[in-house]
Amino acid sequence: MSDDSPTQADRDDRRLTLIVIPHGDLETRTIEISYRRLKVALFGVAVLALVVVVVVGMWFPILAQAGRVGGLERDLARLEAERTRVAELARTLAEVEAQYERVRELLGATGTAADSGAILPPLRSDSIRRMSQEGSGGEDGDLSFGAWPLASGGYITQVQSGAPGAHPGVDIAAPRNTQIRAAGPGVVREVGRNEVYGNYVVIDHGDGLESLYGHAARILIGRGDRVHGRKIIGFVGSTGQSSGYHLHFEVRRDGAAVDPLTYVRKP
């Protein structure tokens, strides 16, 4: 018995006929494609599509990272600009600290008990005794030592240090022309000006106690005047070795600088 079913070779030899009918009077075209070639073409298209998918999948993370490069560059430029500003501020701060340290050295070198005669006359015991005998209080002022030396609180920027050559008083930052007030009753021993303290006042309070007020813009009292506690004696300035408006306030006991904050308290 014969087998009339088509073999695999017969099936591959079959052809697909495409008839192209153009518009108009153009001639009709017939295209024949064998099933074998059609399978090869379809396989090639499938392989090409797979390759495209693989390539896109591999390049997509790279493209995504490349898209972030622009943002990273902008962030880097911003950080670099901030770093430059920080460096400039650090240099400025270092210069200010160096200047302030020089001022402290100048104040300390000339403000200790051993060198006080180079700027201020030595404490005279006769004037203290005379002041104690005559009295120095006023009718509208404090009769005890310990009043805050400014009309307003101010801000303490430097405290007193007892080390040799260190800062002999406290620096109190305050607005320009803030009233400077006597810390207690006494007699004005010295009013003057020098390159360190600028415009300054020294007041004897008796019993070996005296106070000094430096860097004033203007002084309102004269040598020998008697003052009561909290009397206005001048205005805050920035004269002498000063980097800003403030009062340099010292308290001395028997000619030696002591911590003013043990005698007066900030309001």
What is the residue-level pLDDT of the chain in tens, covering all 267 positions? Answer: 445 556 655 555 677 777 777 776 667 777 777 777 778 888 888 888 888 888 878 877 777 777 677 777 888 888 888 878 877 777 776 666 666 655 555 544 333 333 333 344 443 434 434 443 444 344 455 678 999 999 988 899 988 876 666 788 999 999 999 999 999 999 999 999 999 999 999 999 999 999 999 999 999 999 999 999 999 999 999 999 988 899 999 999 999 999 999 999 888
32 located within any domain: yes
Indicate the residue among 89, 111, 133 that finishes a domain.
111
User: Does residue 253 sit in the same domain as residue 138?
Assistant: yes
Domain count, the chain: 2
Measured CA to CA in angstroms, residue 98 lies from 60, 194, 248 at distances of 56, 22, 19
* Residue found by looking up tokens 């009077």 in the block: 25
The answer to whether residues 196 and 244 belong to one domain is: yes
Quick one: pLDDT at residue 162?
A: 66
The pair of three-digit structure tokens given for residue 219, joined into one six-digit string: 């002084």
Specify whether the backbone of 208 is left (phi greater than 0), alpha (psi in -120 to 50) or beta: left
What residue numbers bound the domain in which 175 lies? 122-262
- Whether 84 and 126 map to the same domain: the answer is no
Which pLDDT score is estimated for 113?
32
Residues 133 and 258 in one domain: yes
Same domain, 66 and 145: no
In a domain, 1, yes or no: no
Q: Is 158 exposed, middle or buried (0-12, 13-18, 19+ CB in 10 A)?
A: middle
Burial track 242-258 (b if 16+ CB lie within 10 A, e otherwise)? beebbbbbbbbeeeebb
State how far the Cα of 251 lies from the Cα of 214, in Å rounded to an integer.
12
Judge if 40 and 133 occupy the same domain.
Answer: no
Query: Looking at the structure, do residues 135 and 257 belong to the same domain, yes or no?
Result: yes
- 80 and 211 co-located in one domain: no
Give, in order, the Cα–Cα distances in Å from 223 to each of 19, 25, 120, 124, 159. Answer: 126, 128, 13, 14, 28
3-state helix, strand, coil in the chain (%, to 5): 35, 30, 35
Residue 213 inside a domain? The answer is yes
The overall pTM is greater than 0.75: no
User: Do residues 143 and 59 share a domain?
Assistant: no
188: domain CATH number is 2.70.70.10
Q: Which residue has the tokens 């500003």?
A: 85
Q: Is residue 24 part of a domain?
A: yes
- Same domain for 252 and 164? yes
Question: Is 267 a member of any domain?
Answer: no
Instruction: Assess whether 15 and 90 both reside in one domain.
Output: yes
Q: What are phi and psi of 214, to 5 degrees?
A: -120, 170
What is residue 34's predicted lDDT score, i.e. its pLDDT? 74
Question: What is the pLDDT at residue 99?
Answer: 66
Instruction: Tell me, yes or no, whether 146 and 250 share the same domain.
Output: yes
pLDDT of residue 145: 92
Q: Taking a C-beta distance cutoff of 8 angstroms, is the pair 203, 166 a contact?
A: no
Paired sense of beta strands 155-158 and 186-194, if any: unpaired
